[in-house]
Amino acid sequence: METRSNHVLVGAVTLILLAVLALFIVWLARLGGGDSREYDIFFKQAIDGINPGSPVAFSGVPAGQVKNIAFWAPDPQFVRVRISVNPDVPILEGTTASIEGIGFTGVSQIQLDGAIKGAPPIDCPESEAAAACPLGVPVIPTKTGGLGAILNSAPQLLERLSTLTERLTELLGDRNQASIAGILANTNRLTDALADRGPEMAATIAEMRDAVQQVGAAADQIGSLANTTERVVDTSVEPAMENLNEAVLAAKQSMENLDAAIADARPGVQAFSQRTVPEAGQLIQDLRRTAIALAEISERIEQGGAGSLIAPQRLPDYEPEE
């Protein structure tokens, strides 16, 4: 009887100790992870090297780990990765996530960076929370980089390499090879011709050098002539301009004197034009009539002698018509 009671007591104490231990472990778990924050990341690329428990770094500093990975049912081309980060990690607006390899081991990690100073933290807004946080936790946008960028661009690189290979094959075909050979042959002939013309080209270059030197000498002479002309202008033109100014002043004084003389002679000129000029015109008309009369007298004397001046003029004889 005492043995059974001892076993019951020991069992009860053991159960109590196990329960206390379990509660302690749960408390430690809550204490260690109760303040961690969870975020979802939707990758539209291969996530090779990422597994639950993979590290999460913020600007290279360890910040948390991957909790789980699952396909996104509404759009299977996305892979949802839920991460848990420490509470002191600044997950602010502008933060992006990318996949980066760790060395050459094939293991990858999720890299967070790009937080903007002074920006609010990434959180689920009160309005449109379902669209911004479809699974109840904030979503960190992705940024293609590192291994993911290489894997995503691999098909494009292969396609471009294939296109480049095809074009090189077309370029190096038999027909184009013949054309390239002809171009190379023409180039060789041109090179030989230039080599043969080397002495003539050297002589031409020497003549051009001499011409350039002559042009430089002519330029120096033109500069000297310009300096001389400037000195001549300074020494000769300025005195001539002074003399011209004096002549202009003298001419101005002469014109003023002439204006004064005309003003003084204006009354006499008016009297001459009003009296003397009409009388002179009448005299000229009388002289003209006298000259006409003398011309007629002279013509009579020549035709009829001196008696024609006294006798009347003889009429012509009349002869009747038969």
Residue 195's pLDDT band, with cuts at 50, 70 and 90, is confident
pLDDT at 42 over 90: yes
pTM over cut 0.85: no
pLDDT at 49 over 90: no
Bridge partners of 100, per DSSP, are 109
Other C-beta atoms lying within 10 Å of the C-beta of residue 66: 20
Residue found under tokens 């607006």: 93
What does the block give as tokens for 204?
């031409």
- DSSP character string of 179-236: HHHHHHHHHHHHHHHHHHTHHHHHHHHHHHHHHHHHHHHHHHHHHHHHHHHHHHIIII
Residue 12's pLDDT band, with cuts at 50, 70 and 90, is confident
Average pLDDT, the chain: 75
Residue with the bigger pLDDT between 104 and 124: it is 124
pLDDT in tens, 56-91: 999 889 999 999 999 988 888 899 999 999 988 999
Bridge partners of 112, per DSSP, are 58, 97
CA 307 vs CA 292, 297, 303, 311: distances in Å: 20, 12, 10, 6
Most distant CA pair in the chain: distance in Å?
221
pLDDT in tens, 126-164: 777 777 788 889 999 988 655 555 555 656 677 788 888
Q: In what order do the strands lie in the sheet with 96-102?
A: 37-43, 79-85, 61-71, 55-58, 107-113, 96-102
Task: Identify the pLDDT of residue 82.
Answer: 94
pLDDT in tens, 210-266: 877 887 777 777 777 767 766 655 665 566 567 667 766 776 776 776 666 666 656
Phi-psi region of 180 (alpha: psi -120 to 50; beta: other; left: phi over 0): alpha
